[in-house]
Amino acid sequence: MLSTKLLVAVAVLIGVFAEQCDIKDLGIADFADKVTVTNLNAPGEGEGWVAVKTNHGKISMILPAGKSRTVAAFAATTYSIVVVGHDDDSLRRYTERLYELRDRLQELTITPEASPDAILSAAADLALLETSLAQIGQGGQSCGGKLVTDVTVQATIKSVASDGGTSFWVLDCG
């Protein structure tokens, strides 16, 4: 007999883990709430760092100029989007932290004996990744709203140059 718990677990996980699955003739995407973010910059004008958060998950990604990405979440009701440029301090700190972690992990793969402190430190950093991500873009452009069943949110980002020569991102959640 079909386990109700398993059924719901799978139904949820399908949405959580994959926008679409090739399972016979069933489209998992039909169950998903979606947010599409489009970088309206012309190719070569600049890529943006974008984070999309829903009730049950979040994803951060670099969105090249002229590209769009769709993020799917199962049964989500709210979303928020943050965009920052590469010159954002919080993004710079986050990226540096990632590279430090990468280098330390890489070194641990070739180090037969590492100190207990080094191992614990790497493990602690692994556990803090999600927290680090949450600290990005608090001063950046953000928008959000409610997800409506069967409607894909269409958001756009575009970098705009100011008179002073600096540029900033404009985010539109539609």
87-146: which residues touch other proteins (CB under 8 A)? 95, 98-99, 101-102, 105-106, 108-109, 111, 114, 116, 119-120, 122-123, 126-127, 129-130, 133
| Residue with Cβ nearer other proteins (38 or 142) | 38
| Residue with Cβ nearer other proteins (166 or 174) | 174
- Does 147 bind other proteins (CB under 8 A)? Our answer is no
Under the phi-then-psi rule, with left for phi > 0, alpha for psi from -120 to 50, and beta for the rest, what region is 165? left
- Does 149 bind other proteins (CB under 8 A)? Our answer is yes
| Residue with Cβ nearer other proteins (56 or 139) | 56
In the list 96, 138, 139, 151, the residue contacting other proteins (rule: CB under 8 A) is 151
Half-sphere exposure of 69 (CA within 13 A, CB side): 17
- Does 23 bind other proteins (CB under 8 A)? Our answer is yes
CA gap 30, 32 in Å, rounded: 6
Of 62, 65, 70, whose CA–CA distance to 29 is shortest? 70
To the nearest whole angstrom, how small is the minimum distance from the Cβ of residue 131 to other proteins?
10
User: What x-and-dash track marks residues 47-76 binding other proteins by CB under 8 A?
Assistant: --------xxxxxxxx---xxxxxxx-xx-
Q: Are 156 and 126 in contact (CB under 8 A)?
A: no
| Residue with Cβ nearer other proteins (108 or 161) | 108
Size of the chain, expressed as the number of residues it contains: 174
Q: CB atoms < 10 A from the CB of 52, how many?
A: 24
Of 118, 59, 62, whose CA–CA distance to 85 is shortest? 62
- Does 38 bind other proteins (CB under 8 A)? Our answer is yes
- Does 82 bind other proteins (CB under 8 A)? Our answer is no
DSSP state for residue 42 in the 8-state scheme: P
